[in-house]
Structure 1
Amino acid sequence: MKNIKDYEHKKVLVLGLAKSGVSAASLLHKLGAFVTVNDYKPLEENAEAQGLLEQGIKVICGSHPIELLDEGFELIVKNPGIPYTNPLVAGAIEKGIPVITEIELAYKIAECEMVGITGTNGKTTTTTLIYEIFKADRNLDPLIAGNIGTVASSVAQKATANQQMIVELSSFQLMGVQTFRPHIAIITNIYEAHLDYHGTKQAYAKAKSNITRNQTEDDFLILNHAQPDLWDLVSFTKAKIIPFSTKEYLEDGASIKDGSIMWKGKKMMDRSEVVLPGDHNLENILAAVAASKLMGASDEAIREVLKTFKGVKHRTQYIGEIEGRKFYNDSKATNILACKAALKAFHQPVILLAGGLDRGNGFDELIPSLKYVKALITFGETAPKLESTAKKAGIPVVLRVENVEEAVPVAWELSEPGDVILLSPACASWDQYKSFEIRGDIFVDAVHKLR
């Protein structure tokens, strides 16, 4: 870790805790800043705040008092989930106080190069693929961090100069960067998302573009060739652009030709050797291949991983096969777009398990993607809407159950050898489960019980 002096003797407010806030506060304290932590949760219920208090860090809990802005803070490190409309944040910006997220701290102290991955869909799969390929290469020594669950500013403290940090980045994190500069940046794709936070697609996309804001001619930006709007978005970049495409052969990037995965005109392997299903995952694979080759990974490491990598948990995750039926856990499909991407991966009969929180939308947009669905099993608040869509799509069997656990044995009874049984809810989980991870774990447990 670089022993920087940037924050020494500076008054810094860390706004919001969770893992990123705790890491940021501890790090800033270590770097000699005068740190105050402010979190909404009351102190008596706040183990993280109590731990920071024991380190000698000033802690204010239970509310976000606007009066804090009168205490002369020179910097605010904001939890990514706190919106910029928060009165404290908005007031700080009005006063000219810089507001950053902890990824900026991670970059400042990291001794190693970073590969940064963002986008609407595919971030976690791409991040994990790159990490696994780097791990498989004897000349690389990767660390994984960021939005994937491991706080970047904690990982950066342990990173050495000969390592590589593979960092998944959300739009929320990228709004709060000043100098952050990954050597390799990836934007997998941009679709409309998080409008409740950003307000418009344009604002959301602009936040994503911050991943390349500080890159130079010595850096690389990997982009989806199929999204010209994305290229327009980053037209300001100084980085060397490396394209990837599943639709078009590219001499200067990663693409598909005659059923083969290609890198700059050279065949890497047959697509048929790749375990991970779906065109959307093929885009993730090509982005990961590009990043891996740019960082010097061997062809052997890439082939080894792509022949064995079955997917990230809860993201079109292959669970296994029972008596000719293949089971996939795509609990992360919390919206229609993600469900459509999962359905596109299969060209055999599918029994689809879907449902969850009703966000007020309909599901008729799914109809073109349901052509291989032979049965739909619904659950949760949205069950009636999904059933209405299934009727319009002409799905012959539609059944409603109470929850995911009940859906699995029902799907089994309806299935035949050669079928896919897919959990891809197209909805958030919060009407029945605290998270999509819990929903997915229950599905996996129910599948294992069938054995």
Structure 2
Amino acid sequence: MRLVVLGGGESGVGTAILGKKKGYDVFLSDFGKIKNNYKEVLALNDITWEEEKHTEELILNADVVMKSPGIPDKSPIIKALHEKGISVISEIEFASEFTEVETIGITGSNGKTTTTMLTHHLLKQGSLNFGLAGNIGKSFAWQIAENKHEGYVLELSSFQLDGIKSYRPHIAVITNISPDHLDRYEYKYELYVAAKFRITMNQTESDFLVYDADDEIISKWLESNPIKAQKIPFSLTKVVEGGIYVKNDTIISNITNEEFTMPINELSLEGKHNVKNAMAATAVAQLMRIRKETIRESLSNFQGVEHRLEKVLKIQNVQYINDSKATNTNATFFALDSMNTPTVWIVGGVDKGNDYDELMSLVREKVKAIVCLGVDNQKIINAFGNVVDVIVETASMQEAVKIAQKLSEKGDTVLLSPACASFDLFESYEDRGKQFKIAVQNL
């Protein structure tokens, strides 16, 4: 059996290693450059590879192709594979064939990293040996090749879900759905929504779907598409049967026979969106039979995620916050919503089809100045030019932070929450967040 892996990043190299271990004839091809550390791993495992090209005769003879999430379906090599009827799957699909252990799959437009890490933290504190994979850390395939865990918590993007056929999580979580990555879905929202719901398509009556009952898109979809999994809703606004809700500033869960309660002010993470993330993680922990005391303790000592509303420094009584992970307007909505002081907002980058209207009321209420940080900022200027008095364009993180400092005064917050992808000026949102932190430390 010939396995061709497209993409020489974390998921690609992990898949190549697992394929090799399972007896496949493996070839890896990357249209860009492969990092040196991955080249070393490929050499150690005796896996042939190429970079900066896709050689068709070495690829179109595959029995199965694993494509990295970053490669769009419209790229020529994927079209050629589809024309030949060759199966193209994601790393999650490929790896799941080689394990019997339970997985918890977590998706959503926002909150999925925090929810995934928080869920993993709860299970670990409850003495379950679960791995953490998907969009985070060491790839799922690589970890299955090493075979050290009794289960996995997986953060799953819509791109990873596009490439599944039989993958079935025991517990699926959908944190929320808002327009994101529409450039990859022909700018059709319904295609993106359908991609997210692929997470539950193979689930059976013995599995669970945990979801935000306040999310209109999710509720509408569930009304018109029957699913087999048992539904576990969570809500900030209403009492839900067989789920988790908030009453009198307390999280209340009636998923199991014993009621679980936790005062919101004891959560280590701040903000309404984090109450939702905590409810989703609690639902999973209860379904996995973690003790109530352990859940409470874990929710109060969780440290949070780097680049997500991360407090960097206070300088001259101005708080600098790194929310570089906010790559769409919905994530930025949560960030602005949690600001309690006048805010200088650093925004911009590669727009993925953003509609800035949803931010308008928050920007009016909270933002005193905007610092644009992107190659093309016209859309932001057009959207907020009449709402915010001061809008400044900058071309580097250092410049953006210096100008933000000049525009802020005691008691303000400087918030990096770009609402855009980072690839015009940075390698990744992590690189953007790190540069922000360095620039703040150098003020």
Aligned to 2:114: 125
Aligned to 1:238: 228
Q: Give the secondary structure class of the aligned counterpart of 1:242.
A: strand
Aligned to 2:144: 156
Matched, 1:24 2:25: no
Aligned to 1:86: 75
Q: 1:355 aligns with which of 348, 351, 360?
A: 348
| Residue identity opposite 1:424 in structure 2 | S
Structure 2, gaps ≥5 residues long = none
Matched, 1:178 2:165: yes
Q: 1:249 aligns with which of 239, 243, 248?
A: 239
Aligned to 2:27: 36
| Residue identity opposite 2:7 in structure 1 | G
**1:305, distance to aligned residue in structure 2 (A):** 3.1
In 1, distance between residues paired with 2:46 and 2:373?
49
User: Aligned-residue CA RMSD in angstroms?
Assistant: 2.9
Q: TM-score, normalized by length of structure 2?
A: 0.87
Q: TM-score, normalized by length of structure 1?
A: 0.86
Overall identity of the aligned pairs, in %:
39
Equivalenced residues, count: 436
In 1, distance between residues paired with 2:48 and 2:430?
34
What are the Cα deviations for residues 16-66 of structure 1, in whole angstroms up to 9, with x where unaligned? 3222121211211111122233333479x8774575356443445553344
Structure 1, gaps ≥5 residues long = 1-9
The structure-2 alpha-carbon separation of the partners of 1:416 and 1:115, relative to structure 1 and needing over 3 Å to count, comes to: same
Q: 2:203 aligns with which of 215, 225, 233?
A: 215
Alignment map for 1:284-363 (pairs within 5 Å): 284-322=277-315, 324-357=317-350, 363=356
Q: 2:368 aligns with which of 363, 374, 377?
A: 374
What are the Cα deviations for residues 392-439 of structure 1, in whole angstroms up to 9, with x where unaligned? 22x455455553334445444554554332111233333332222122
The structure-2 alpha-carbon separation of the partners of 1:212 and 1:389, relative to structure 1 and needing over 3 Å to count, comes to: closer
In 2, distance between residues paired with 1:96 and 1:373?
52
The structure-2 alpha-carbon separation of the partners of 1:311 and 1:49, relative to structure 1 and needing over 3 Å to count, comes to: closer
Aligned to 1:140: 128
Contact 1:69 1:91 in 2 (8 A): no
**1:165, distance to aligned residue in structure 2 (A):** 0.9
Contact 1:134 1:301 in 2 (8 A): no
Aligned to 1:446: 439
In 1, distance between residues paired with 2:442 and 2:333?
28
In 2, distance between residues paired with 1:145 and 1:103?
10
| Residue identity opposite 1:439 in structure 2 | R
Aligned to 1:4: none
Contact 2:18 2:95 in 1 (8 A): no
Q: Give the secondary structure class of the aligned counterpart of 2:110.
A: coil
**1:328, distance to aligned residue in structure 2 (A):** 1.7
**1:448, distance to aligned residue in structure 2 (A):** 3.4
The structure-2 alpha-carbon separation of the partners of 1:326 and 1:309, relative to structure 1 and needing over 3 Å to count, comes to: farther
Q: 1:103 aligns with which of 63, 67, 92?
A: 92
Q: Give the secondary structure class of the aligned counterpart of 1:109.
A: coil
| Residue identity opposite 2:235 in structure 1 | S
Contact 2:328 2:354 in 1 (8 A): no
Contact 2:5 2:66 in 1 (8 A): yes
**1:180, distance to aligned residue in structure 2 (A):** 1.2
Aligned to 1:168: 155
In 2, distance between residues paired with 1:405 and 1:191?
31
What are the Cα deviations for residues 279-327 of structure 1, in whole angstroms up to 9, with x where unaligned? 2222222111111111122223332333233531111223354565433
The structure-2 alpha-carbon separation of the partners of 1:133 and 1:323, relative to structure 1 and needing over 3 Å to count, comes to: farther
| Residue identity opposite 1:285 in structure 2 | A
Aligned to 1:5: none
